[in-house]
Each structure stands twice: as C-alpha cells, then as structure tokens.
Amino acid sequence: MTLSSDTVRILSPSVVKQPAKNPHLTPVNGDRDRSQSIYLAGTACQIKSNVSLSTFTSFRVGGPAEWYVAPKQIEEVQACLEWARAEGLPVTFLGAGSNLLVSDRGIPGLAISTRHLRYSRFNPETGQVTVAAGQSLPRLAWQAAQLGWEGLEWAVGIPGTVGGAVVMNAGAHGSCAAEILVNTQVVSHRGTISVLTPEELGYSYRTSVLQGGDRLVTEATFQLKPGADPARVQATTSEQLEHRKSTQPYHLPSCGSVFRNPDGSRGAGWLIEQTGLKGYQIGSAQVAERHANFIVNCGGAKASDIFQLIRYVQAQVEQNWAVLLEPEVRTIGEFQGL
C-alpha cells in the first residue's frame, strides 16, 4: 500500500522545468542561475533554492525543497502561488512540519511555509478567536487559557500550527478542530480567496477535503467559551499536557501518532504493542517503547528508515490481526524504490 503524498502537482514533475528567466523575478545578486535566492517583484518575499527541510519537521529528517518561501502576508502568498504556476512548479504547504515525513531526496517545486503568518484576535462579544494559519496551536491554547476562555485545552500538546490543525482535523482528549471551527479562509492555487465552513471541509476523524489539496489555509475562526476562571482553565490545560508527556515519547523527534486508530475497540497502539513491535528498529528509527503508535528518531535517522519501519509495522499488524493500519502522517516527496 503506497503512502499518500501531499505534494500538489499543478503539473506532473516530468514537465516541471527549471525556473525560466521570469520577468517577475529580481535576482538578489548577479545572474539568477548562480544566486541561491530571489525576490518576487513588488514584494519583500525571498524565495530560496535548495533549502533543507529537516529542521522544519518534528521528525528532524527530510531532504531539500527545490524552492522555499515563507510569505508574511496574504498578498505575498498570492504572488508566490502565481510564480509557481508561471514556472510550472508543484507546490507543497508546510505548517510546523509536525505531521510530515519528507523524503531524503527532498521535494520538487516550491514549498510554502506559513511560519510567518501569525496573529490572533479574540472577540469578547462573540467568544470567537480569529487566528492566522501559522500561529502555534499550543500558544493559542495558552492564550485562551490565560483569558479564561474554554475550548482549546485539548490542543496544548499538539505541536503544530492552526493551519495544520484545520487541515488534519487535529484532535486529542475527545475533542478536535472540527468541533470548534466556525470557518476558515483559504487561497486556491490560482490565488482566489474563499471562506469555507466545517461542512464544506468534509470533516471526519483526522480528515478534511483540504488534505493533499491545492488550497492554502491562511486564517481560521474558532468558537470558544469566555468567562471561566483563568486559573482553572490554565490548570486543566497543564493537566492535559502532563498526561500527554507521561503517555507519549515527547522527548524524542516524532510525528505523533503514525497511524489513525482503526474502527473498533483496539487502537493502533494496542495492535502494534500486541504484535511485539515496541522497540523494533530500522536504522535509527524505532517503534517507541512508551507508545507503540509512535515512531521516534533515535538520532541521525533517515526518512527512508522511518518509511520502511512504517511499512514493516503495517505488514506485521495486517499479518497478525488482518487490520491494515492507515498512516496519519503525511508523506511528502518520492519514496519509490524503498
């Protein structure tokens, strides 16, 4: 079973050209072919070539993005998308990289990171918070707790961005993004801005129609519950984080749960542990002792080690339990031939 990939193919890689001399581009220094970064005309947007993604993922693995940019506002997002389209490049969206496995070979085309899209606006009249896609979800959870707004306590241990949470329908402790989302603003690969409701997102467990799609989440609005005692909300938030740290290998690079829990009472962690795979290692990738549905990078792991371990665990569980575990982690780039 191949793992799904999230590189959006505006054109298939076979026709992806090396970026031509694009009139929109102002080389930073000298001839573009030599330069490692370029600026999009009319913006402060710097597109860099050959940027390693390993430091941008929680697994701490992954090869280089052919091109990488971190736009600071929606107009720059639109300019980047227009450039990629003009150059015939596939586009990949990056949040905090906490649910990504990026190929050691890297990814073709343009990787757009939301890391600089950050603001949060709490509206006491409506109890809603509107927040930029690149905002850290734990940071938002703590901000809400400090205000005495309930509804995000569950999210404090999810080390991703708001945009990633909207796309993944991130959840924990019986809650998830779908339950509190009012709407989300997205930009299509043609630069068109629209606002989607939870119904339009086709939400289900750890799934939305945005996954593997070509629309970038730029902002989300959540319905929270103001008026609680801030000390109590902060205490609950801390408890959620402490519970997680005691049941999950938080201290080692991972992507969180590797597989979605299958239907039925036996979760992925239980199935993998009962298959005797805790501690099983390929290279420096290991099935975590603390939680069998985590694969951890014990130091110096390659993406290929992790990929092969995912497939090995899938095969062993299927053989033992006739259950085919479905990856929750999003794989990006090519893993063929492994």
Ligand X SMILES: C=C(O[C@H]1[C@H](O)[C@@H](CO)O[C@H](OP(=O)(O)OP(=O)(O)OC[C@H]2O[C@@H](n3ccc(=O)[nH]c3=O)[C@H](O)[C@@H]2O)[C@@H]1NC(C)=O)C(=O)O
Q: Of the candidates 269, 275, 329, 281, which has an alpha carbon nearest to the alpha carbon of residue 308? A: 281
Smallest distance, ligand X to C-beta of residue 204, A: 12
Active-site residue flag, 200: no
Q: How many residues bind ligand NDP (CB under 6 A)?
A: 12
The site map against ligand FAD for 149-188 (x = CB under 6 A) is --------xxxxx-xxx-xx-xxx----------------
The site map against ligand FAD for 230-269 (x = CB under 6 A) is --------------------x---xxx-------------
Q: How far apart are CA 288 and CA 94, in angstroms?
A: 25
Identity of the residue, 74 or 309, whose beta carbon is nearer to ligand NDP in the bound complex: 309
Return the beta strands (E) in 149-229 as ranges. Answer: 171-172, 175-176, 181-187, 193-196, 216-223
Residue 254 interacts with ligand NDP (CB under 6 A)?
A: yes
Return the beta strands (E) in 158-284 as ranges. Answer: 171-172, 175-176, 181-187, 193-196, 216-223, 281-282
Q: How many residues bind ligand FAD (CB under 6 A)?
A: 34
Smallest distance, ligand NDP to C-beta of residue 241, A: 7
**Interaction site with ligand X (CB under 6 A):** 172-173, 244, 247, 256-257, 260-261, 267-270, 273, 291-293, 328
Active-site residue flag, 239: no
Catalytic residue among 254, 257, 304, 330: 257
Note whether 144 and 225 are within 8 A (CB): no
Note whether 92 and 110 are within 8 A (CB): yes
Both tokens of 329, joined, read 């982690």
Active-site residue flag, 328: yes
Both tokens of 31, joined, read 């001839």
End-to-end CA, the chain: 13
Residue 58 interacts with ligand NDP (CB under 6 A)?
A: yes
Residue 135 interacts with ligand FAD (CB under 6 A)?
A: no
Q: Of the candidates 303, 305, 304, 272, which has an alpha carbon nearest to the alpha carbon of residue 289? A: 272
Positions that interact with ligand FAD (CB under 6 A): 6, 58, 93-100, 114, 133, 157-161, 163-165, 167-168, 170-172, 210-211, 216-217, 250, 254-256, 330
Residues labelled catalytic: 206, 257, 328
